[in-house]
Amino acid sequence: MTKQSASRTKIPPAAQGYRMPAEWEPHESTWLAWPHFRGDWPGKFEPIPWVYAEIVRTLARHERVEVIVNDASWEQRARMVLEKADALSDNVSFHRWRTNRVWTRDSGCIFLTPPAEQTDAGPLALHFQFNAWAKYPNYNFDEKVGERMAKAAGARVVQPIFADPLGEKHRVVLEGGSIDVNGCGTLLTTEECLLSDTQQRNPLMDRAAYEQLFADYFGVRSVIWLDSGIAGDDTHGHVDDITRFVAPNTVVTMIEPNEQSENHMALHANLGRLKNAHTSDGERLEVVEIPMPRPVVFEGRQLPASYANFYIANGAVLVPVFNDPNDRIALNSLAELFPTREIVPIYSGDLIWGFGALHCMTQQQPGR
């Protein structure tokens, strides 16, 4: 590393002009990890690779797909499934890296883009520490995925650091599913995920510390703090299950009209905050409400089924559906919001047994 590049790493990315782009901005590719851990879908693993094949087939029509596989034998299995599903193409590449789980949104790096005027500046990737949502002991392979993704993409790796009041530095724990940005300086997150006593991520960081982190590393000037997530969420309230930006001043948010549902009060409280929120430009949000699907329950446990866990690709929006009457409302709403993109429903009734869906399993690599 040269002296110049070493000194640049001490300057926060935002001060260098880097920012986290919105998901609807152009992608170079989408990263995902091929499913292999049966423990994530006990009793339901068999259909999961075929759901992945459907996702890869759709994505590969619009952008490159980078598929992480455990080893050569798992690559062979993935190729077989993809070929049978007519999903294997020149737009699909494989990377043989061990993983514990497949939720690349959380374990992978977060790519930033340089300022447009700096044509010689390359991409940058934030490699946050990953601790498996402070719930699972086996994450040693997943913790390495972010840096491997970054290096494969030719991006400079930065590990975000927080300095406590005594000046001691700590790597920051943060998952991609806990935040959502509009690419213009505003970020969504939840207090349950980052500030509650149960989350066990960065106990020394308070609201002000997080807002400074978002400013330094993402180029964010305004943070909209929602209250809590939905029932069944295994991540302490990730925002990508409840509220998402779909345009600089527009969000989609989940609502639960059934007052008997345990989601009713939490989502109603979030809706109130959104109606009073402003972007970094001082604009009020346009809030599009989508009703939750009926509870999806398996083996007596409610699962985090939500239409908000959609994924925006270059020419398509992949939307989780659950054979529910509200599927049509969600698909129609997103079709109106993304008139130039193909709206692709992906049945996720089996996938959600792993406590994640389309957004949780993908991570975008933005283009220039």
Region 12-366: CATH code: 3.75.10.10
Half-sphere exposure of 352 (CA within 13 A, CB side): 29
Choosing from 109, 184, 193, 360, the catalytic residue is 360
At residue 90, does pLDDT exceed 60?
A: yes
Instruction: Give the number of other Cβ atoms within 10 Å of residue 294's Cβ.
Output: 14
- List Cα–Cα distances, 272 to 181, 193, 268, 290, in angstroms: 19, 19, 6, 15
How far apart are the C-alpha atoms of 261 and 256, rounded to whole Å? 7
pLDDT of residue 8: 42
- For the chain, give the number of residues: 368
pLDDT band at 4 (very low <50, low <70, confident <90, very high): very low
Query: For the chain, what percentages of helix, strand and coil (3-state, to nearest 5) are there?
Result: 30, 25, 45
Catalytic status, residue 184: no
Whether the pLDDT of residue 7 is over 80: the answer is: no
Q: Which pLDDT belongs to residue 9?
A: 53
236 bridge partner residues: none
- Mean pLDDT over 316-326 rounds to 98
Question: Cα 47 to the chain's mean position, in Å?
Answer: 23
Rounded to two decimals, what is the model's pTM? 0.95
What ranges do the domains of the chain cover? 12-366
Q: Is 163 exposed, middle or buried (0-12, 13-18, 19+ CB in 10 A)?
A: exposed
Q: d(Cα 77, Cα 310) in Å, to the nearest integer?
A: 26
pLDDT at 6: 31
Going by pLDDT thresholds of 50, 70 and 90, the confidence category of residue 319 is very high
Closest CA to 178 of 169, 188, 165, 164: 188
Average pLDDT of span 297-315: 95
Please write the tens of the pLDDT for every residue from 197-222. Answer: 777 899 999 999 999 999 999 999 99
Residue whose structure tokens are 């392979």: 141
| Residue 278 pLDDT | 95
Region 51-62: mean pLDDT is 98
Q: What is the pLDDT of residues 121-137, one digit of tens each?
A: 888 999 999 999 999 99
Per the prediction, the chain carries an average pLDDT of 94
pLDDT at 81: 98
